[in-house]
């Protein structure tokens, strides 16, 4: 869906991801700037009787277990700076980057396969697509 441009390009998506270990995650990806809680960077993962949510441009972590009050951690937006610093440190130390091209590709495929799922109305594989070499 595109709520503020008539281009027809999808720029908002809510998707459910099921992982091999049984965890289910929910990703809301959007660029409509509202509501601010889920605009831009918002992620939520669920396990049996618990969930964790990252919101506010990944600066607020809310963890909650069933029947308990949520635990909320507030931080600042340092993730991109930390990621860049760790990458430079890895280069200087001649060791692999802690977040590599495969991680970036998987994150990109989560969005692209989400769009494919919208188009086909069917679940779409992610890891299997990467491992099969059918990217092209």
What does the pLDDT profile of the chain (136 residues) look like in tens digits? 666 677 777 777 888 999 889 888 888 776 655 556 665 677 888 888 999 998 887 888 999 999 999 999 998 888 788 989 999 999 999 999 998 888 889 989 998 999 899 889 999 999 888 888 777 6
Angle at 126 between CA 46 and CA 13, to 5 degrees: 60
Q: CA 6, 7, 8, 12: dihedral to nearest 10 degrees? A: -80
pTM above the 0.75 mark? no
pLDDT at 36: 60
Q: Which residues pair with 74 in a beta bridge?
A: 60
């Amino acid at each position: 869906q595109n709520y503020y441009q008539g281009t027809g390009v999808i720029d908002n998506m809510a998707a459910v991801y099921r992982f091999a270990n049984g965890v289910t995650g929910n990703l809301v990806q959007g660029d409509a700037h509202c509501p601010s809680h889920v605009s831009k960077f918002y992620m939520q993962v669920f396990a049996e009787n618990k969930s964790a949510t990252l919101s506010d441009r990944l600066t607020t972590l809310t963890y909650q277990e069933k029947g308990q009050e949520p635990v909320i951690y507030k931080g600042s937006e340092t993730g991109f700076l930390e990621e860049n610093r760790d990458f430079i440190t890895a280069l200087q130390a001649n060791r692999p980057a802690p977040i590599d091209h495969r991680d970036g590709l998987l994150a990109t495929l989560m969005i692209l396969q989400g769009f494919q799922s919208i188009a086909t109305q069917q679940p779409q594989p992610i890891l299997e697509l990467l491992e099969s070499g059918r990217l092209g």
